Amino acid sequence: MEIEELKTIWKKYDRKLDNLEKLNKRLILDALSKKPQKKLNWMKYRSFISLFLLPVILILGLHDNFRIENVDIKFLTGCLLTLTFLVVLFSMNFKSFMVLRGINLGADSILESAVKVTKFKRLFVAKRKFNLMGFPLIFAGILLIAWKSLDFGSNILFVFIAVSVFSLTLGYKHLKIYKAKIEGLEKEIHDLNEYAE
């Protein structure tokens, strides 16, 4: 064999080797991106459900209080407080959902996906702060809406305190766990960078 033939064969095998390496990286990337994609899909689902869950729960829980004889200044103030909280929360949840919906691990580059997850994380932190600050607002609104149907006995104050402490504690723990999941997703996406082309 001559040197030119060997060079041609070498280039041919070199191209095949490059193609195999690219294919290997792609297969590894696809396999490794399944777990973050499942987390992402779960977060999209939860984000979508959160758009409607609280308003539906409030409507179902307070529907007996929406009668014409209950309408007074307390009731209207409670409706205004609750509606304000729900509108702001819906807006934040909608923005979060749209950011999550825009993440496509298959089509976006790893960097683009990481930037979008970081944007979602910032929205989540802002929503978390709003929830902690807005909790008294929604609690007061619900209390004012249900004012006429409440029996203010000696134990009702303890029930309100217990419910609010329980809700805040449960909400804080839940948000802490969810934040850890977001950070885990962020880390998994950064780990994919090694196999990106």
**Would you say residue 53 has pLDDT above 60?**
yes
**Each residue's pLDDT tens digit, 88-144:** 989 988 998 888 888 877 677 777 777 888 888 888 888 888 887 888 888 888 888
Q: How many independent structural domains does the chain possess?
A: 1
Domain extent at residue 87 = 3-195
Mean pLDDT on 80-90: 91
**Would you say residue 173 has pLDDT above 70?**
yes
Q: What pLDDT is attached to residue 84?
A: 92
pTM as predicted:
0.71
**Would you say residue 197 has pLDDT above 60?**
no
Q: 3-state SS string over the chain?
A: CCHHHHHHHHHHHHHHHHHHHHHHHHHHHHHHHHHHHHHHHHHHHHHHHHHHHHHHHHHHHHHHHCCHHHCCHHHHHHHHHHHHHHHHHHHHHHHHHHHHHCCCCCCCCHHHHHHHHHHHHHHHHHHHHHHHHHHHHHHHHHHHHCHHHCCCCCCHHHHHHHHHHHHHHHHHHHHHHHHHHHHHHHHHHHHHHHHCC
